[in-house]
């Protein structure tokens, strides 16, 4: 062909023309705008409407927010400073009360403890999330559930140590009892022994130990002092932490082919998921003490944590069930073919993979739960919204409204948005499939 070509065409360019810059209307900001904002008349109209909408919002918000009222000590003060009765933000209330919205009445000189707790939480989660970290760090992760409440509530160090001992004892019973009694009996025995340890031996033992070796942190006055965003964190973290094992058991129960076990698990999960959290909180505030043996008196924060744990374990069970269902059947069969028994297969093959798949689900359950902790204000606990109500009852701040709600909304947004972004990042990172 080329021969013919050479004979018929007088001139053929043998090198490429240099690329010319595209017209200014299709590249750069103008091109981008044409492509994305004004590609058709309809699109142009939509863009303009959207711009007008954005302008409207900002034209309301910015004049309201941009008042330098940080030093005001009462609403009347604010009104004097701005010379306006309405339409001006009074930031003095945030300046004066932000500590209460963040920490409640938590003793001022002890506030490093919850902050340290938060840092340690990151340290404890790191080895679970990132497999390239030293495996030894997992020991700290295991210890964290005992350190966390101790740092918040304070008191003698022996209680968390002995509580952790309960697990060790239960584990030892399983390990050595298995050969003598068989796995089933050993497991039942381990549970009984651990319960006896926690319920009857822990308290006197810790008293004895702390009188011999009084090591501990200064205890806080009462759980009521935990308030504001800290309360939301404590309820959220403790409830999610406790609900994880319960959720795993429930999910396995729901998947098992033991009819009675399955029915109990399904019944529990569907009951909890069928009623609003607020009714469970009403139960916590008015009924839980009636269900307990006479003379028992948990304080309200513990009661709320108990009910929220039950609540989140039902949701956790569903998340983990999703993770279990996502595993290919070959994994179960592979476990069986290696001759592993049920618990071994779960521990070594199924759960590590299922939990990994479930991490994004667990994080979003946590975000949901963290937002739901605001409901405790309805039963009179002092979470951020509860504090907002109390602050508004202070004679100096009667009439303040938007500033407090805006501040709280921003707090929650930062925390929840941060977590959801982080979970998306993790999701990408944890994706081991090809």
Partner 1 sequence: MNKSVFIGALTAAGLAAAAAPAATLDEVKERGVLNCGVSTGVPGFEAPNADGEWEGFDVDVCRAVAAAVLDDAKAVEFVPTTGKTRFTALASGEVDMLSRVTTWTFSRDVDLKFEFVGVNYYDGQGFMVPKELGVTSATELDGATVCIQTGTTTELNLADYFRVNNMSYEPVPIETQTEAQQQYLAGACDVYTTDSSALASVRSSFADASAHTILPEIISKEPLGPLVRHGDNEWGDIVRWTLNALIAAEELGVTSANIGELSAAAGDNPEINRLLGTEGNLGEMLGLDAQWAVRAISAGGNFGESFERHIGENTPIGLARGLNAQWTAGGLMYSPPFR
Partner 2 sequence: MTTLSDPPKESFRLSMLLYDTRYRSMTIQVIALIGFSAFVWWLIGNTAQNMAALGKTLSFRFLWEPAGYDINQRLIEYSSQSSHFRAAMVGVLNTLVIAVLGCALATVLGIIIGVLRLSRNWIVARIMTVYVEMFRNVPVLLWIVLAMAIMIETQPAPRAFKGDDATASMIFDAVAITNRGVFVPAPSFTSGFASTGLNWLIVLLVFAASIFVVRLVRARATATQEATGIRPTTWYLQLGLLIVPTAIVLLVMGLQWTSPELKGFNFKGGLHLRNSLIALWLALSLYTAAFIAENVRSGIMAISKGQSEAAGALGLRPNRIMSLVVLPQALRVIIPPLISQYLNLTKNSSLAIAVGYMDITGTLMGISLNQTGRELETLLLGMLIYLTISLLISAAMNVYNARMQLVER
182 binds partner 2 (CB under 8 A): yes
Which listed range, 94-102, 133-141, 240-248, 413-421, lies at the site for partner 2 (CB under 8 A)? 413-421
**Identified binder of partner 1 from the candidate list 378, 411, 415, 416, rule CB under 8 A:** 378
- Torsion angle (degrees, nearest 10) of CA 36, 37, 40, 42: 130
113 binds partner 1 (CB under 8 A): no
Say how many Å lie between the first and final Cα of the chain, rounded.
46
* Interior angle at CA 199, CA 194 and CA 201, nearest 5: 80
Considering only CA atoms, which of 355, 354, 364 is closest in space to residue 424?
A: 364
Compute how many other C-beta atoms are within 10 angstroms of the C-beta atom of residue 27: 13
Token pair of 108 as six digits:
């001022």
Contact assessment for residue 102 and residue 230, using Cβ atoms and an 8 Å cutoff: yes
Considering only CA atoms, which of 407, 392, 390 is closest in space to residue 89?
A: 407
294 binds partner 1 (CB under 8 A): yes
Q: Which does 100 bind (CB under 5 to 8 A by kind): partner 1, partner 2, none?
A: partner 1
**Identified binder of partner 1 from the candidate list 248, 307, 382, 408, rule CB under 8 A:** 382
Give the start-end residues of each E strand in 84-160.
155-156
User: In whole angstroms, how close is the CB of 306 to partner 1 at the nearest point?
Assistant: 10
309 binds partner 1 (CB under 8 A): no
How far lies 429's CA from each of 4, 135, 296, 417, 432, in Å? 58, 18, 47, 18, 8
Contact assessment for residue 129 and residue 423, using Cβ atoms and an 8 Å cutoff: no
65 binds partner 2 (CB under 8 A): no
**Identified binder of partner 2 from the candidate list 115, 119, 133, 401, rule CB under 8 A:** 401
Q: Which residues bind partner 1 (CB under 8 A)?
A: 79, 85, 96-97, 100, 104-105, 149-150, 153-156, 159-160, 163, 198-200, 202-203, 206-207, 219-224, 282, 285-287, 289-290, 292-302, 378-382, 386, 389-390, 392-395, 398-399, 401
Give the binding site for partner 2 (CB under 8 A): 36-37, 39, 43, 46-47, 50-51, 53-54, 182, 184-185, 188, 257-261, 264, 270-271, 273-279, 282-283, 286-287, 289-294, 367, 371-372, 374-375, 377-378, 385, 401-402, 405, 408-409, 412-413, 416-417, 420
């Amino acid at each position: 062909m080329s021969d013919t070509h050479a004979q018929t065409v007088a001139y053929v360019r043998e090198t490429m023309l240099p690329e010319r810059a595209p017209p200014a209307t299709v590249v750069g900001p103008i091109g981008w705008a044409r492509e994305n904002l004004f590609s058709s008349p309809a699109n142009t109209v939509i863009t303009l409407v959207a711009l007008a909408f954005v302008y409207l919002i900002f034209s309301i918000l910015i004049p309201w927010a941009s008042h330098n009222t940080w030093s005001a000590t009462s609403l009347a003060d604010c009104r004097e400073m701005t010379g306006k009765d309405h339409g001006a933000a009074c930031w003095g209330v945030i300046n004066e009360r932000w500590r209460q919205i963040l920490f409640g009445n938590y003793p001022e000189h002890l506030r490093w403890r919850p902050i340290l707790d938060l840092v340690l939480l990151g340290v404890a989660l790191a080895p679970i999330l990132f497999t390239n970290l030293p495996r030894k760090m997992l020991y700290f992760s295991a210890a964290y559930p005992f350190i966390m409440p101790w740092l918040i509530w304070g008191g003698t160090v022996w209680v968390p140590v002995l509580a952790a001992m309960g697990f060790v004892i239960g584990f030892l019973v399983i390990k050595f009892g298995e050969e003598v009694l068989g796995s089933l009996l050993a497991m039942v025995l381990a549970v009984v022994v651990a319960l006896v340890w926690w319920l009857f031996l822990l308290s006197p033992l810790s008293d004895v130990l702390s009188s011999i070796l009084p090591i501990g942190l200064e205890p806080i006055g009462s759980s009521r002092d935990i308030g504001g965003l800290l309360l939301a964190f404590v309820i959220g973290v403790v409830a999610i932490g406790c609900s994880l094992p319960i959720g795993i058991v429930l999910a396995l129960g729901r998947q098992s082919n033991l009819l009675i076990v399955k029915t109990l698990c399904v019944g529990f999960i569907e009951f909890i998921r069928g009623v609003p959290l607020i009714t469970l909180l009403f139960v916590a505030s008015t009924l839980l003490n009636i269900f307990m043996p006479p003379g028992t008196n948990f304080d309200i924060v513990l009661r709320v944590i108990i009910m929220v744990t039950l609540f989140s374990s039902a949701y956790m069970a569903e998340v983990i069930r999703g993770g279990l269902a996502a595993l290919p059947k070959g994994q179960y069969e592979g476990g069986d073919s290696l001759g592993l028994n049920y618990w071994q297969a779960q521990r070594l093959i199924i759960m590590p993979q299922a939990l990994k798949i479930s991490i994004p689900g667990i994080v979003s359950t946590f975000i949901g739960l963290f937002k739901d902790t605001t409901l405790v204000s309805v039963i009179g606990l002092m979470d951020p919204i509860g504090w907002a109500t109390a602050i508004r009852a202070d004679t100096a701040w009667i009439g303040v409204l938007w500033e407090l709600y805006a501040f709280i909304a921003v707090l929650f947004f930062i925390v929840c948005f941060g977590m959801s972004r982080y979970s998306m990042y993790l999701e990408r990172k944890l994706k081991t499939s090809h």
